[in-house]
Amino acid sequence: MLLAIDCGNTNALFAVHDGTKWRAQWRTATDTSRTADEYAVWLHQLLGMEKLDLNDINACIISTVVPQSLFHMRNLARRYLHCEPMVVGEGDLELGVTVRLDNPREVGADRLVNACGARTFLPGALLLVDSGTATTFDLVSSQGEFLGGAIAPGMYLALQALHDAAAKLPRIAIDKPAHTIGTNTVAAMQSGIFWGYVGLIDGLVRRIKAEYDEPLTVVGTGGISPLFSGSSETIERFESDLTIRGLLDIYNRNRGRS
């Protein structure tokens, strides 16, 4: 079985694939001080709830934008899964997409994995809108070329900045407000954040479409992307599993290579 790990700035996703289907998925808060031993205890308990065991896993692939966590996750694979993990961004892994950026090594592993995942089942040129710690817009041509895009702060970062910088603004949860005009501080903040980001997304998507001469399918992904369903005028479909699709595709492309 394969353990796929996607470690983002806020959360880390662990998913187990048995060669035919995904058996289980779990999320945990990203903690750079969490050791391989701690990950193993946590994972052992969750696997047991699915009638699985660490000994059932014999392969691992890791994608991370948090270098401090990679050491511990690599040790998790080596010490407890008894395998050397594939790490996206290291070595000469075949990704299935060609990076056409000024400096290809700058692009985050998460963005590349999303592109690989989308290419496994969506034809044509794609614009991937990932709503996470950052809000990213990634353009992939119909020939599988990663052409770049745009990066903006995510909604959680924007809310945190409001709370930290303005003494009277509280810490609030992200939610879709019933009205645009808020009649209290919390409602006003929720409206500004939610509808502001809808405007950000739709505005940037329209600009990217205007600059690109090929029809684009716009795909929303990321932990909070379902919030935008029915509100964004430009996102055509929502796919929550682009990352694990991409990790599985990369693993299958490279398994057995020396």
CA distance 220 to 168: 33
Residue type at 101? L
In this structure, the strands spanning 22-29 and 11-17 are: antiparallel
* Angle, helix 109-119 to helix 242-254, in steps of 10 degrees: 90
**What is the biggest distance separating any 2 CA atoms in the chain, rounded to whole angstroms?**
63
Q: Could you give the 3-state DSSP secondary structure of residue 158?
A: helix
6 has catalytic annotation: no
How far is it, in rounded angstroms, from Cα 126 to Cα 140?
Answer: 5
Q: Torsions phi, psi of 163, nearest 5?
A: -65, -40
What's the rounded Cα separation, in Å, for the pair 39 and 44? 8
For residues 246 and 201, give the distance between their C-alpha atoms in angstroms, rounded to a whole number: 23
Annotated active-site residue in 6, 110, 138, 202: 110
Other CB atoms within 10 A of residue 217 CB: 17
Cα Rg for the chain, rounded, in angstroms? 19
DSSP line for 88-127: TTSTT---SSEE-SSSGGGS-HHHHHHHHHHHTT--SEEE
Residues annotated catalytic, as ranges? 110
